[in-house]
């Protein structure tokens, strides 16, 4: 199904354009809107993101006590506003192991069989889907030249742990088994994801290494790695920087309702055994993210186990920056950098 751009509602298009103008306005205007620079822990928040957070707080404060169904629809709208309309060569809607999936084929790509990135969306295991991360996957695929296959998984609270992890494992195995149909070389498949999706991607990589399934690379974008988190970044950034302690507690209670399961390695990767032959990892964190420290702890844990690891902290960004590719410049530059790293790793 050829699809150069995703159709968005007129209201979403207007909101996106207004936010884009505000975030790219001269520095004096941004200072008037957002106030003094935000400097915490030796880091300075990107001015365009400071404007975005301020405008969102004024126009539509986040209510994290609404029903989860409302949270899900809000996320679709919000990510469409910040994601914008991103070009792509072709998009194909597929069914992978019985679940919806979306295959992004860049305009310029290598001949088949070639590389492939299997991608898991974030959302705390309670929200998110193909549409919330459509813009992200388009940018990653189009800029890198590496096709991206976005997979879905069952969400909590309807489907608590280990449903999402089971779906991620099954989906990845389906991809490996059907690589030829996807135009992919089984030796050049990578796995990636952000936040809860980064957790799923990391777990899939561990299972693949344990079971001897080929995997070339793992892309872990501010991954959730420890549900018992007690970190400085959580204390510093748990309010006011998009991802909040309230949301994380609600997501944890929904997906892992039994406290005794919260040290289980799939959800708390810091307690996992690291098998031999684990794929090289590119771990990306954001300076103003409550998950920053646990993601970096996991990166160090992999490195200590002998895994090839590259850790990149974007000191001026917030959690969720991979979705902000249609407004501002700081997040888009970081995502472009991730795409360039993807191309170097797989293409």
List the catalytic residue out of 289, 293, 314, 316. Answer: 289
Write the DSSP assignment of 253-307 as a string of letters. Answer: HHH--SGGGTTSTTT-GGGS---TTPPPEEEEEEEE-TTHHHHHHHHHHHHHTT-
From 195, 233, 268, 330, active-site residue: 195
Among 226, 233, 319, 330, which one carries the catalytic annotation?
Answer: 319
CA atoms of 220 and 194, how far apart (whole Å): 6
Query: 15-21 long-range CB contacts below 8 Å, 24 or more apart?
Result: 15/81, 16/80, 16/81, 16/82, 16/84, 16/326, 16/327, 19/52, 19/55, 19/81, 19/82, 19/327, 20/84, 20/326, 20/327, 20/328
- For residue 153, give the nearest of 53, 65, 52, 266 by alpha carbon: 266
Q: For residue 41, indicate whether it is catalytic.
A: no
- Please state, in angstroms and rounded to a whole number, the distance separating the CA atoms of residues 317 and 127: 22
121 an active-site residue?
no
Is 319 known to be catalytic? yes
Q: Which residues are catalytic?
A: 195, 289, 319
């Amino acid at each position: 199904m050829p699809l150069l751009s995703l159709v968005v509602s007129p209201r979403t298009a207007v909101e996106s354009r207004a936010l884009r103008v505000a975030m790219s306005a001269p520095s004096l205007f941004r200072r008037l809107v957002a106030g003094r620079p935000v400097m915490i822990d030796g880091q300075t928040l990107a001015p365009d993101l400071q404007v975005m957070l301020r405008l969102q707080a004024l126009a539509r404060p986040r209510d994290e006590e609404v029903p989860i169904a409302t949270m899900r629809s809000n996320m679709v709208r919000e990510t469409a506003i910040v994601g914008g309309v991103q070009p792509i060569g072709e998009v194909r809607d597929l069914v992978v192991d019985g679940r919806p999936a979306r295959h992004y084929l860049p305009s310029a790509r290598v001949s088949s069989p070639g590389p492939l990135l299997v991608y898991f969306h974030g959302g705390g295991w309670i929200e998110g889907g193909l549409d919330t991360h459509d813009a992200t996957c388009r940018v990653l695929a189009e800029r890198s030249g590496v096709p991206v296959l976005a997979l879905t998984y069952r969400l909590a609270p309807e489907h608590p742990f280990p449903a999402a992890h089971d779906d991620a494992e099954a989906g990845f195995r389906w991809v490996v088994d059907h690589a030829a149909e996807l135009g992919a070389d089984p030796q050049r498949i990578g796995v990636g994801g952000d936040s809860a999706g980064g957790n799923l991607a990391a777990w899939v990589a561990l299972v693949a290494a344990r079971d001897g399934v080929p995997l070339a690379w793992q892309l872990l974008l501010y991954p959730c790695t420890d549900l018992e988190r007690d970190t400085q970044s959580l204390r510093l950034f748990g309010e006011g920087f998009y991802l909040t302690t309230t949301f994380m507690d609600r997501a944890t209670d929904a997906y892992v309702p039994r406290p005794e399961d919260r040290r289980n390695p799939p959800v708390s990767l810091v307690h996992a055994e690291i098998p031999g032959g684990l794929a090289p990892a590119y771990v990306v964190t954001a300076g103003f993210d409550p998950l920053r420290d646990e993601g970096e702890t996991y990166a160090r844990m992999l490195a200590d186990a002998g895994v090839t690891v590259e850790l990149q902290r974007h000191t001026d960004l917030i959690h969720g920056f991979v979705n902000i590719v249609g407004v501002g410049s700081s997040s888009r530059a970081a995502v472009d950098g991730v795409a360039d790293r993807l191309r170097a790793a797989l293409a």
